[in-house]
Amino acid sequence: MISKNMVEALNRQIGVEFFSSNIYLQMSSWAENQGLENCAAFFRKHAEEEQMHMHKIFDYICEKGELAIIGQINEPPRDYVSIHSVFEQAYKHEQFVTKSINDLVSTAYEEKDWATFNFLQWFVEEQVEEEGLFQKVLDKVKLIGDNSDSLYFIDQEVGNISAASAAA
């Protein structure tokens, strides 16, 4: 048993995950275009992860015998002034997603929908990890600096962080 209100909120989250995937895919293309291959791979991988998040919610709604709805997805931004601003916006976006997940958890709690509350715990943990990772990358980018001489080192460092997080 799942309420109409809860299904609507989960369906909205499908849109958020889809949009997140598209944002990162677009960032990946921007980075590739600048010759930042490791940054491009980092965002490409995250675009795929967001798709996986979307599918997880989609499947949950279907398992509950409800209709998963793919609504309109806004166009992601495509113009960035620097790799620094790309990572800054990515980090801000993850904070927005965390808030969105927390709102879903609150709705499940208020409705005493413990099955959905339990289902959402995976996303709560995932957001802790993702926010942590994006913050780590942003801190490194700030540390290295954002002038043209630093771009190679930023790309190397993003590759190292990606490899370490994949191995963890």
- The footprint of ligand OFO (CB under 6 A) covers 17, 20, 50, 53, 94, 97, 123, 126, 130
Euclidean distance between CA atoms 84 and 72, whole angstroms:
29
User: Cα 87–89–93 angle (5° rounding)?
Assistant: 115
Q: Which CB atom, from 30 or from 43, has the smaller least distance to ligand OFO?
A: 43
Contacts 24+ apart (CB under 8 A), 148-155: 151/34, 151/35, 151/36, 151/83, 154/36, 154/39, 154/83, 155/36, 155/37, 155/38, 155/39
Q: Which CB atom, from 126 or from 146, has the smaller least distance to ligand OFO?
A: 126
- Token pair listed for 134: 């994006």
Q: Which CB atom, from 97 or from 144, has the smaller least distance to ligand OFO?
A: 97
Contact residues for 7 (Cβ-Cβ < 8 A; gap 6+) = 61, 64, 66, 67
Q: Which CB atom, from 30 or from 91, has the smaller least distance to ligand OFO?
A: 91
Q: How far is the CB of 45 from ligand OFO (least distance, A)?
A: 11
Q: How far is the CB of 104 from ligand OFO (least distance, A)?
A: 10
Q: Which CB atom, from 43 or from 144, has the smaller least distance to ligand OFO?
A: 43
Cβ-proximal residue to ligand OFO, closest one: 53
Q: How far is the CB of 152 from ligand OFO (least distance, A)?
A: 27
Q: Does the CA dihedral 121-64-19-96 come out positive or negative?
A: negative
Q: How far is the CB of 97 from ligand OFO (least distance, A)?
A: 4
Hey, what amino acid is at 23?
I
Q: How far is the CB of 145 from ligand OFO (least distance, A)?
A: 26
